[in-house]
Amino acid sequence: MEQLERPDEATWDERRLWFEAREAAFGRAGAGALSEQACALMVDLQAAFCAGAWAAAVILAAAVVDLQTGEGRGAAAGLDKKERDWLRLLRNALVHEHPKRPGLSMRDQWTGRGRWERKARRAVEAALAALYAPPQEQGDGRAPGAAGAGRG
């Protein structure tokens, strides 16, 4: 069962390098007032992402967004309302069960891993956008490392 096995080193490294490249891209543009707890949760978010714990990554990313954009902090410069709403709805579907319509099913764990990875990548991007300003673009108009991000 892939989701319970440790990823091989190449997979872990690919995920770690993607995460770190995206964080570097967002970080180059600078950051405003950072929440200490949001920054601390980024460590767990990266570990969950690298391990392939996609639902956990989504939930942690949503927590980072909430902490960083919460009371007294205002909206994050790099995170638009559409992305924040998407992430909040997905997080809510994961943590508040609807028995007839679960946010995550055992079938998803077996056959939907690729789709959930795309969602986790999008959630990581949202968390980074909440922490940092929009990423600086490369000459080709794409943010560094954007090719693997996808939309889920």
The 10s digit of each residue's pLDDT in 17-76 is 999 999 999 888 787 778 899 999 999 999 999 999 999 999 999 999 999 887 555 556
**pLDDT confidence of residue 74:** 53
- What is the average pLDDT across 113-140? 82
CA distance 6 to 63: 25
Q: What letter represents residue 39's amino acid?
A: C
As a 3-state breakdown, the chain gives helix, strand, coil percent values, each rounded to 5, of: 65, 0, 35
- Structure-token pair, residue 34: 């950072």
Q: What letter represents residue 7's amino acid?
A: P
**pLDDT confidence of residue 55:** 94
Please report, rounded to a whole number, the percentage of residues in the chain having pLDDT higher than 70.
Answer: 79
Indicate the average pLDDT of the chain.
83
Q: Ranked by mean pLDDT, which of 2-11, 43-52, 135-144 comes out on top?
A: 43-52
Q: What are phi and psi of 132, to 5 degrees?
A: -125, 170
pTM of the predicted protein model: 0.80
Question: Residue 96 burial (CB < 10 Å; 0-12/13-18/19+)?
Answer: exposed
pLDDT confidence tier of residue 122, bands split at 50, 70 and 90: very high
CA distance 19 to 25: 10
Q: What are phi and psi of 32, to 5 degrees?
A: -90, -140
Least confident of 10-19, 27-36, 79-88: 27-36
**pLDDT confidence of residue 140:** 43
pLDDT confidence tier of residue 77, bands split at 50, 70 and 90: low
- What is the average pLDDT across 109-117? 85
What is the residue whose two structure tokens read 């997080």? 91
